[in-house]
Amino acid sequence: MRIYTRKGDDGTTGLFYGGRVPKDSTGPEAYGDVDETGACLGLARAETEPGSDLNDELLRLQRSLFVLSAELATAPENHHKLVAGESKVTAAMVSDLEAAIDRIDDEQGTPEAFLVPGGNRLGAALDLARATARRAERKAVAHARGGGYEESFVLPYLNRLTDYLFMLARAAEETWTTSKEETNP
pLDDT recorded at residue 114: 77
pLDDT recorded at residue 112: 80
| CA pair distance 167, 169, nearest whole angstrom | 5
pLDDT recorded at residue 182: 44
How far are the Cα atoms of 58, 88, 96, 130 from residue 40, in angstroms, in the given order? 10, 22, 21, 9
pTM for the predicted model, two decimal places? 0.90
DSSP-derived secondary structure letter, 89 = -
pLDDT recorded at residue 113: 77
Specify burial of residue 76 (Cβ count, 10 A radius: 0-12, 13-18, 19+).
Answer: middle
| CA pair distance 43, 46, nearest whole angstrom | 5
pLDDT recorded at residue 177: 43
Digitized pLDDT (tens) for each residue of the chain, 185 residues in all = 888 999 999 999 999 999 999 999 999 999 999 999 999 999 999 999 999 999 999 999 999 999 999 999 999 999 999 999 999 999 999 999 999 999 999 998 888 877 788 889 999 999 999 999 999 999 999 999 999 899 999 999 999 999 999 999 999 987 544 433 444 44
Tell me the one-letter amino acid at 124.
A
Which domains are delineated in the chain?
20-173 (1.20.1200.10)
pLDDT recorded at residue 116: 86
